[in-house]
Amino acid sequence: MSEKIKFTIDGKECYAEPGQTILEAALDNGVYIPSLCYLKDVIPAGSCRICNVKVAGRFMTACTTPVAMGMEVENDIPELNELRVSIIEMLFVSGNHFCPACEKSGNCELQALAYKYTMMVPRYPYLFPEKKPDSGNKKLFIDRNRCILCKRCIRAVKDEQGRSLFAFKNRGNELAISLDHELAENISDELAEEAMEICPVGSILKKEKGFQQPIGHRKFDKQAIGSDIKSVIK
Amino acid sequence: MRNTVQKIVQKAGNDRGRLMDILLEIQAELGYVSGEVTDQLAEELGISRVDVEQTLSFYHFFRQEPRGEYTVYLNNSLVANMMGRVEVAAAFEKEAGCKFGSVTEDGRIGLFETADIGMNDQEPAALINGKVFTNLTPLVVRELVSGMRNGKKVEDMIRNYGDGKNGSDLVRAMVHNNIKQKGSVLFSAYSPGEGLTKALQMSPEKVISEVKDSYLRGRGGAGFPTGLKWEFCRRANKEVSYVFCNADEGEPGTFKERVLLTEYPHLIFEGMAISGYAIGAKHGVLYLRNEYDYLKAYLESVLEEMHEKKLLGDRILDTEEFGFDIRIQMGAGAYVCGEESALLESSEGKRGEPRNRPPFPVEKGYMDHPTIINNAETLCNVVKILKNGSEWYTMLGSQESAGTKLISVSGDCKYPGVYEVEWGIRVKDILDLAGASNIQAVQVGGPSAECIGPADFNRTISFEDLPTGGSFIIIGNKRDLIGDVVTNFLDFFIEESCGSCTVCRTMPTILKNKIAKILTGHGVQQDLEDLQDWGSKMKMANRCGLGQTAANPVLSTLKNFREKYEGLIRKDVDFDSGFDLASAVVDSCEHVGRTPNL
């Protein structure tokens, strides 16, 4: 068995397996580092930037940076939390998010993070971008208004041959998710369900089913995001 | 059509890693990449359609719809505007009969804009079907458009060829080199093979230590010590490794690589071979920006010539142990691909999105092999260092910056062009050389770096003071610094962001809207604080150099020209929503024929 790597997060002593990223190790050690684009067991994207931590005075994404021996990670500090709120606010103003009408409300990670960091109203003016939804698939509905471009679907939803069902299109502020209609034509119910599950917001929805779980009884209605990560003594 | 596509794909070995080349070639054959072709490509390459599309839609010069038999890409960079682009653009629209961003009804002429084509010293300039047209005027435009109407060949529309190799058979471009000052390193006497011969007499380790001793630092802007980079890569000690030359200068205002590629390509390729020997690589790739496609055939002929002279190939200079070859990888229009890991992604046929680090390219680069990426100018320096020794090299330059630097000077001055200067030269001295007077500001290092005013003109161009990848844009007193300069640079970063990181994708637009609010007279003190506070988040929360520096046009003018902002804001109120009822109802009132009753 390989040696564990000792490091600290906000002064708390933690241990990591060799090769583990800061985020993975933090979760194992019962430390919550907020994240959005991170998805367990999938290659990290490092694109939402919410898991930004500081190591030796430098900002780095916890989901992509491997733990090194003796690393001193800063996580729950005002500077970083401020940055995280501001990123959440940017995600709100760069899309069109109408929580009360969204099927994902209560199960949405973006919304949950906004609550966690008590975002009242974004400091940034809304950009009101025009986004085209895509309803062309039999089972999936893609609402780009809510998409936060986290790449989770791109990285995780594949067909049997390993081909991506989703991909990015364009660049910059025109960036959008597109669904491969041919590959997704005969998508199974399970995969469609999984795609919806994987999406942290309400951008990928499975058709003909919705609001089964009443609002008020959903995951983050009961408890704040990250509160299930309990400190474990190792 | 199906056969054409099939042939092109087969030629590329059905390799999805060569998607850039495949798409470029299809475009050259068929004009654009249609939906039907996209489907076929997906099928032949065994990937999903959206995977083809993600690359296709990323690059500026790829077309998913016809863009005219003659496609005009007019440069919209700051210096182009300074030199009269607006009149030229109006002339194009009037003569062609269509607006920018569209194609004439008969499908003959398409008018499009593009960001910085590396011709800042001869603007306004445009690319027409890949050929460069410089120093455009409305009169010239009229002639060009009439030529297009008459079906004239683009190459026949070029009236005069430029100096040096620009006039050679394989280039035939109207581009001028504008070498205004020669120095003792780059623009100095050279006969191909000198550096390589010296290098091969040493061990690879010795070559690396010679480069380390020279204190050579990367010339692309970041300034990483070259020898150190090589050493890291050599240490990775893998069977296969790669040398990349970054010839994707996209920073508005730089054009020095254009000149190196035109006049000194041997020097670049020789530098690549030397670095290959040093790190133990057999393969080199020159990543050439699409804007310089007009040099490709010529560069390929140089490669061939160097093979013949055994400066490249299986047995270089008849040695048993060292072989090295170079291929050219074309870009397709994306500033971000100048970032080294984005450049690798692009070379693998993907979107030019910068990678997360670690791992660094020296450990895991092109196709996961250890890779060094050096700027073209850096590699030219290497040859001279090997030829003359590191001691000679460190005699040149300033305390922390050894050697010379190519500066691309453009904007409001008499003598725009490329100057080879020793590091440590004062800004003022460059201004004098360039014949510039009545100067408001100098943008040193391009939009991503710093905008300085006369109070800083005594500062020096050096890594310890004002570093630069080479761009030096002179902004005269009559220019509107915020309205013209800052806004143009923000537009550039909005257009060129890959979009991957939240902050870089969003913030430049937010900043631009804020500047617009200030420019329309609705700004208040708080808006200046916001610009500072919001802009500073770019540095904290983006993956690559583009994102981290994209707010610099705002931040550096706020720092050095605060009075200009202060002069634009309202001092009588603390809050202004930016909403103007009168202008909001103009359209509706006009529509119903009523005068607003406010």
Asked if B468 and B487 sit in the same domain, the reply is: no
- How does pLDDT run across B101-131, given as a tens digit for each residue? 999 999 999 999 999 999 999 999 999 999 9
- How does pLDDT run across A64-101, given as a tens digit for each residue? 999 999 999 999 999 999 999 999 999 999 999 999 99
Mean pLDDT of B279-305: 98
Q: Which of B444, B476, B508 is the last residue of a domain?
A: B476
The nearest alpha carbon in chain B to A90 belongs to B506
Mean of the per-residue pLDDT values of chain A: 94
A77 with A84: CB under 8 angstroms?
no
Name which of B47, B58, B513 is nearest A125 (Cβ-Cβ).
Answer: B513
Asked if B441 and B540 sit in the same domain, the reply is: no
Identify the pLDDT of residue A3.
84
Mutate to test the interface with A, among B41, B341, B496, B506 (most CBs of A within 10 A): B506
Question: Is residue B598 domain-resident?
Answer: no
Mean pLDDT of B539-562: 96
Q: How many Cβ pairs closer than 8 A exist between chain A and B? A: 133
- How does pLDDT run across B191-245, given as a tens digit for each residue? 999 999 999 999 999 999 999 999 999 999 889 999 999 999 999 988 999 999 9
Structure tokens at B117: 């084509």
- How does pLDDT run across B366-409, given as a tens digit for each residue? 999 999 999 999 999 999 999 999 999 999 999 899 999 999 99
Name the percent of chain A lying above pLDDT 70: 97
Please give the residue range of the domain that contains residue B439.
Answer: 404-476
Question: Is residue B166 domain-resident?
Answer: no
Helix-, strand-, coil-residue percentages of chain B, each rounded to 5:
45, 15, 40
Q: Which residues are bridge partners to A230 per DSSP?
A: none
Question: Is residue B585 domain-resident?
Answer: no
* Interface touch A180/B358, C-beta < 8 Å: no
The nearest alpha carbon in chain A to B578 belongs to A125
**B572, pLDDT greater than 80:** yes
CA-CA-CA-CA dihedral for B39, B40, B42, B44, to nearest 10: 170
Residue appearing with tokens 């010590």: B225
Contacts of A159 in chain B (CB under 8 A): 48
B192 with B306: CB under 8 angstroms?
yes
Rg (CA), chain B: 25
**B32, pLDDT greater than 50:** yes
**Domain spans in chain A, listed from the N-terminal domain onward:** 20-76, 100-222
- How does pLDDT run across B497-542, given as a tens digit for each residue? 999 999 999 999 999 999 999 999 999 999 999 999 999 999 999 9
Question: Is residue B164 domain-resident?
Answer: no
Q: According to the 3-state scheme, what is the secondary structure of A127-192?
A: CCCCCCCECCCCCEEECHHHCCCCCHHHHHCECCCCCECEEEECCHHHCEEEECCCCCCCCCHHHH
Q: Which of B476, B507, B523 is the last residue of a domain?
A: B476
Identify the pLDDT of residue A117.
93
- How does pLDDT run across B428-450, given as a tens digit for each residue? 999 999 999 999 999 999 999 99
* Interface touch B356/A172, C-beta < 8 Å: no
Name which of B48, B537, B543 is nearest A46 (Cβ-Cβ).
Answer: B543
**A1, pLDDT greater than 90:** no
* Interface touch A164/B537, C-beta < 8 Å: no
Domain A100-222 has CATH 3.40.1790.10: no
**B59, pLDDT greater than 80:** yes
Contacts of A59 in chain B (CB under 8 A): 540-541
Asked if B256 and B367 sit in the same domain, the reply is: yes
Asked if B501 and B427 sit in the same domain, the reply is: no
- How does pLDDT run across B65-81, given as a tens digit for each residue? 999 999 999 999 999 99
Identify the pLDDT of residue B29.
95
Mean of the per-residue pLDDT values of chain B: 96
Identify the pLDDT of residue B356.
96
Asked if B51 and B79 sit in the same domain, the reply is: no
Q: List the CATH code of the domain at A20-76.
A: 3.10.20.740
**A169, pLDDT greater than 90:** yes
Asked if B239 and B206 sit in the same domain, the reply is: yes
**A232, pLDDT greater than 80:** no
A59 with B540: CB under 8 angstroms?
yes
Asked if B472 and B486 sit in the same domain, the reply is: no
* Interface touch B540/A83, C-beta < 8 Å: yes
Question: Is residue B189 domain-resident?
Answer: no
Question: Is residue B277 domain-resident?
Answer: yes
Q: Give the three-class secondary structure for B201.
A: coil
Tell me how far apart the alpha carbons of residues B521 and B41 are, in angstroms, rounded to a whole number. 52
Name which of A59, A172, A180 is nearest B48 (Cβ-Cβ).
Answer: A180
**B471, pLDDT greater than 70:** yes
Residue B229 sits in a domain of what CATH number? Answer: 3.40.50.11540
Identify the pLDDT of residue A234.
40
Q: What is the ipTM of this complex?
A: 0.96
Identify the pLDDT of residue A2.
65
Structure tokens at B277: 């020997």
Asked if B363 and B420 sit in the same domain, the reply is: no
CA-CA-CA-CA dihedral for B184, B185, B190, B192, to nearest 10: 180
Query: pLDDT band at A233, cuts 50/70/90?
Result: very low
Order of strands, sheet of B242-247, starting from the edge strand that comes earlier in the sequence: B325-330, B283-288, B242-247, B371-375
Predicted TM-score (pTM) of the model is: 0.96
Structure tokens at B23: 């798409």
Asked if B336 and B251 sit in the same domain, the reply is: yes
Distances (CA, A) of A68 to A231, B298, B355, B360: 21, 48, 20, 15
Specify the number of domains making up chain B. Answer: 5
Identify the pLDDT of residue A231.
55
B544-556: burial string, b at 16+ Cβ within 10 Å, e else: bbbbbbbbbbbbb
Question: Is residue B595 domain-resident?
Answer: no
Asked if B390 and B444 sit in the same domain, the reply is: no
Name the percent of chain B lying above pLDDT 70: 100
Q: Which of B159, B180, B208 is the last residue of a domain?
A: B159
Mutate to test the interface with B, among A22, A49, A65 (most CBs of B within 10 A): A49
Question: Is residue B493 domain-resident?
Answer: yes
* Interface touch A46/B57, C-beta < 8 Å: no
Identify the pLDDT of residue A161.
87
Asked if B457 and B351 sit in the same domain, the reply is: no
Contacts of B541 in chain A (CB under 8 A): 49, 52, 59, 83, 87
